[in-house]
Structure 1
Amino acid sequence: MALIRTVYPTTSLPLTISISNLPVRSNMSLRCSNQPQLHSRKLVLAVKEKLEKEHHHLPVGPNGRDDEDMILWFLKDRKFSVEDAVSKLTKAIKWRQDFGVSKLTEENVRDVAQTGKSYVHNFLDVSDRPVLVVVASKHVPDAQDPADDERLCVFLIEKALSKLPTGKEKILGIVDLRGFGTKNADLKFLTFLFDVFYYYYPKRLSEVLFVDAPFVFQPIWQLVKPMLKSYASMVKFCSAETVRKEYFTNETLPPSFRD
């Protein structure tokens, strides 16, 4: 056993210390911290290989079958099950292709966007989340083609996600129900909205605020709630005052909540 001989400065008494008792820096914690990343990497490659082998017809590139960031996100959503991630990813990539998500632009959603029924707020909330606002009183189902509403919805989700700060992964949804009436009720579109988030943008919604919901909205909510599954727990009914005080500063508050 190696020994070190030293001396107390005040007493000059010799002190013998065993090196084996000295604290030793180990790289064990570093190896352990790397294990989850290595495991995730292997699963990403497994999904990628499976998609290439079984679904080679799917597109590649950003949001395609070889997009490793997208693969990892769906693995997390499916609790790192390769089979489940492949199944859900296949549907999502196919849907993006059929829907023409990559072709959506400000120009081809301009007409419906000008109604003001939905928009991405210019500022982040106090938790640094991009904010997608829906103004329910401006949505009249018979006034626009439902397909136009769906395209606007998806375009704005993409726009909100593009504003995510580094390290952030989720957005805040605000459904402003002030002035909502039966003429604004649209179960089909509301179901489409949550289906899009559940199947194609999983775990991208952090929270959904239903602001100042009138009594007439309650029966609609009771019909929709069972369809939302786990997303129903993300919904918070609150007042406009709560939005002002808890989610924004005076400088970042959406214009419609300054009243």
Structure 2
Amino acid sequence: MAIRSCEALRSWGPPLVSSIKLRNKPFRNCKFSVQNCVVSADESRKLVLEVREKLEKEHFSLQVGKNGRDDEDMIYWFLKDRKFSVDEAVAKLTKAIKWRQEFGVSELSENLVKNIAETGKAYVHDFLDVNDRPVLVVVASKHLPATHDPIDNEKLCVFLIEKALSKLPAGKEQILGIFDLRGFGMDNADLKFLTFMFDVFYYYYPKRLSEVLFVEAPFVFKPIWQLAKPLLKSYASLVKFCSVETVRNEYFTEATLPDSFRG
């Protein structure tokens, strides 16, 4: 990557494009270019438009509308992820938009994933955590790769990511992932699906995953983690091994704690 010494904007969330249009003052300590010059709101706006124009010119067949090549909030999010490199943002956005079309993300629904969701293997919790993050819970003992269709697993995964992101409060940008590893055995091991999940976040939902809790990981899980860790790229650093007690005391209140972590 050609960009050096880049400090990411901390306070700009997805709806930031409209605010770019209104602000003319540069943000403090925001350096994005190879020359380390401060990028003002106007300059950031220009970068968003530059990406949009390149996508229209070079990738005209990509869909438009929400999560399409002209979605300026999405463009900004990927620019921020790529430290405001236009070429890198265009490349990653192109891949992400094509994937959304091919995977059929916009067609996913509660009814479509109903059967696999009823296994209870994963769900979006009804309440936010103490940091106001939507919570995606995976119950590893209910994941049976020899029985469940891997395509159904992938559709449920993406559907729940979309659902969790739809619950983001104003000003919040990231979600919390919890892997409940109690009762995990070799029948539940699925390195391919684990890497699929993290790849989806890395390539298509960058910077949306704040933290991942591996709760009560048994001894049998450790060698699987050693195999998976190098495949997860930078997301491996988001993983925290912890106890049920930690989940109760540090991430939820008594009123918002998931039922499976009570008692």
Shorter-chain TM-score: which interval? 0.7 to 0.9
Query: For residue 180 of structure 1, what is the amino acid of its counterpart?
Result: F
Q: Do the aligned residues in 1 keep the contact of 2:25 with 2:40 (CA within 8 Å)?
A: no
* Aligned-pair CA distance for 1:31: 3.4
Matches within 5 A, 1:44-63: 44-63=48-67
In structure 2, the partner of 1:42 is 46
1:26-41 alignment, distance < 5 Å: 31-33=25-27, 36-41=40-45
User: Over residues 158-189 of structure 1, what are the superposed CA-to-partner deviations in whole Å (9 max), with x where a residue is unaligned?
Assistant: 00000000000000000000000000000010
* 1:142 aligned counterpart, secondary structure: coil
Q: Secondary structure at the match of 2:113?
A: helix
Distance 1:36 1:143 in 2: 53
1:29-83 deviation digits (Å, cap 9, x = unpaired) = x734496221211100000000000000000000000000000000010000000
More strand by share: 1
1:231 is matched with which residue: 231, 235, 247?
235
Q: Which moved more, 1:163-172 or 1:32-41?
A: 32-41
Task: Kindly provide the amino acid, as one letter, of the partner of residue 245 in structure 2.
Answer: E
Task: Pick one of 139, 143, 150 that aligns with 2:147.
Answer: 143
| d(CA) in 1 for partners of 2:196, 2:27 | 40
What is the aligned counterpart of 2:225 among 221, 227, 250? 221
**Partner-residue secondary structure (3-state), 2:115:** helix
Amino acid at match of 1:31: K
CA positional deviation for 1:126: 0.1
Match status 1:97 vs 2:101: yes
Alignment of 1:45-84 (within 5 A): 45-84=49-88
What is the aligned partner in structure 2 of residue 17 from structure 1? none
Letter in 2 for 1:240: V
CA RMSD of aligned residues (A): 1.0
Residue 214 of structure 2 is aligned to residue 206 of structure 1? no
- Unaligned runs of at least 5 residues, structure 1: 1-29
Deviation at 1:229, TM superposition (A): 1.2
Counterpart CA distance in 2 for 1:143 and 1:250 is 36
Runs of 4+ in structure 1 off by over 3 angstroms are 30-35
- Which is greater in Rg? 1
Shift of 1:105: 0.3
Q: Quote the residue 2:174 is aligned against.
A: 170
Quick one: distance in 1 between partners of 2:141 and 2:249?
23
Residue 20 of structure 2 corresponds to none
Question: 1:142 Cα shift?
Answer: 1.3
Does 2:189 match 1:185? yes
Q: 3-state SS of the aligned residue for 1:206?
A: strand
| Map of 1:241 onto structure 2 | 245
In the alignment, residue 25 of structure 2 is paired with which amino acid? Answer: R
**Could you tell me the TM-score, scaled by structure 1's length?**
0.87
Offset, 1:143: 1.3
Q: Which amino acid aligns with 1:55?
A: H
Name stretches of at least 5 consecutive residues in structure 2 with no aligned partner: 1-23, 29-38
